[in-house]
Amino acid sequence: MKVDVHAVNFTVDRKLVDFIQERMDKLEKYYDRVVSADIFLKVERTSDKENKAVEIKINVPGDDFLVKKQCKTFEEAVELSAESLERVLVKRKEKIRAHI
C-alpha cells in the first residue's frame, strides 16, 4: 500500500512516519485491495491538551473512506483512526462477500 504523510505547518520526524507506515500496513490484513492512504497531521491552535488532529483517507476500488481523530499525541490518534478503519474495511469485505 502506498502511504503519503502530509504534515500541515510543521515537519514530521522519521520515527512518526515509520510508525504510521507500519500501522497502515497492518490494515491490508483486513482488506487486501487497499490502493493507497493519505494521512494529514495537524496541530490545532487550541488550549486543549488534545490538539493533535489526524485525518486518514483510504482509497479502495469504488470507494474512499475518511476517518478523523483528535488526541493528545499523533501516535494515539493514528492508532484510534486505524482501529476505526479496520472496522470499516471488515464491514466492506463482508458486504462484498454477501453479493457473491
Give the range of the structural domain holding residue 15, as residue numbers without chain letter: 1-96
List pLDDT tens digits, range 1-47. 899 999 988 899 999 999 999 999 999 898 888 999 999 999 988 77
Residue 43 C-alpha cell reads as: 496541530
Overall domain count for the chain: 1
The 3 state secondary structure assigned to the chain is CEEEEEEECCCCCHHHHHHHHHHHHHHHHCCCCCCEEEEEEEECCCCCCCCEEEEEEEEECCEEEEEEEEECCHHHHHHHHHHHHHHHHHHHHHHHHHHC
List pLDDT tens digits, range 60-87. 988 899 999 999 999 999 999 999 999 9
The pTM for the full model equals: 0.89
CATH number at residue 80: 3.30.160.100
